[in-house]
Amino acid sequence: MTRLLLPLLLAFLPVQAAASPVVVAILDSGVDASHPAFAGRIVDGYDVWYDDADPDDRCGHGTALAGIVAQLAPDAAIMPVKVMADECYGTYSQMAEGIVYAADAGADITLIASGGYAPSDSLAAAVAYAQGRGALVVAGAGNDGTDAPFYPAAYVFSVSAVDRLCGPYYRSNYGAHVDIAAPGVEVWTTAPGGYAIRSGTSMAAAHVAGAAALVWAAWPDMAADDVAALLMETADRCSEPGRVNAERAVAPVQVWLPMEAS
């Protein structure tokens, strides 16, 4: 069944104030919760890899993702779910467990920035479980410059990377399984104990997760699929797929509501 997006003036559907912060789960190497950029922003998470309640980041990748989300969506809460070892590698089994944990813990958005090229029944099932609980799952499309499907991105809202001029990042994966693009080249963001410059579809996916958090904060009754559809509909048409435009997505001019086409 085809889904259409129809504009409705906010005179008829005013922006709503979220009763509680939108929670973004960062499924990665953990988060440096002591970083001043996250003061008052961190909610309880979990370390799936080491099976404890301390998802600290000794790799730095997860902290970089969290910094982008925190900057773009200043009212969002960050849930660190560590699914990678301190040496910056992970497995599908830990990732699937983290997806389920985040869903059960109430994450509205789950951000994933790693994966592989083999499909996985356990990952697909975990994603379906999170989506069934109303979560929007966002993932980077991979950084090998190929059109091969990358998992779990191919199962979820998949993000490629573009540069500041909206040109494709040369390492970004691409193809029909990618839904939206976002800035992912030389992004200034947080690092354990400081700041750093990062590139890749991971950083691009963090931009999309932050934009989704802004949309959900404005219209908390929207369904996850409709948040994703709004981001795609309002994206800049300077790339293929379009580049996310958070300002346009939350502009107080119109909101887009789903209708079913006959």
C-alpha span between 4 and 190 (Å, rounded): 38
C-alpha span between 87 and 248 (Å, rounded): 38
Which one of the listed residues 28, 57, 179, 226 is annotated catalytic?
28
Which one of the listed residues 120, 160, 172, 202 is annotated catalytic?
202
Higher pLDDT, 113 or 262: 113
C-alpha span between 121 and 126 (Å, rounded): 9
Pick the CATH number of 20-222 from 3.40.50.1820, 3.10.180.10, 3.40.50.300, 3.40.50.200: 3.40.50.200
Give pLDDT, residue 252: 57
Transcribe 158-222 into DSSP letters. Answer: EEEEE-TTSPBPTT---STT--EEEE-SSEEEEETTEEEEE-SHHHHHHHHHHHHHHHHHH-TTS
Q: Where are the domains of the chain?
A: 20-222
Pull the structure tokens for residue 254: 């119109």
Q: Is 28 a catalytic residue?
A: yes
Q: Is 202 a catalytic residue?
A: yes
* 209 — pLDDT class (breaks 50, 70, 90): very high
pLDDT 10s digits, 19-57: 799 999 999 999 999 999 999 999 999 999 999 999 999
Kindly provide the residue ranges of all beta strands, DSSP E only, lying in the chain, ordered along the sequence. Answer: 3-9, 23-28, 46-47, 77-82, 109-112, 136-140, 157-162, 180-183, 187-191, 194-198, 254-260
Q: Residues 118-124: what's their mean pLDDT?
A: 98
Q: Is 225 a catalytic residue?
A: no
3-state helix, strand, coil in the chain (%, to 5): 30, 25, 45
Give pLDDT, residue 16: 55
Give pLDDT, residue 117: 98
Single pTM value for the model: 0.91
The closest alpha carbon to 208, from 110, 132, 92, belongs to: 110
Provide the β-strand partners of residue 27: 81, 112
Which one of the listed residues 29, 32, 61, 226 is annotated catalytic?
61
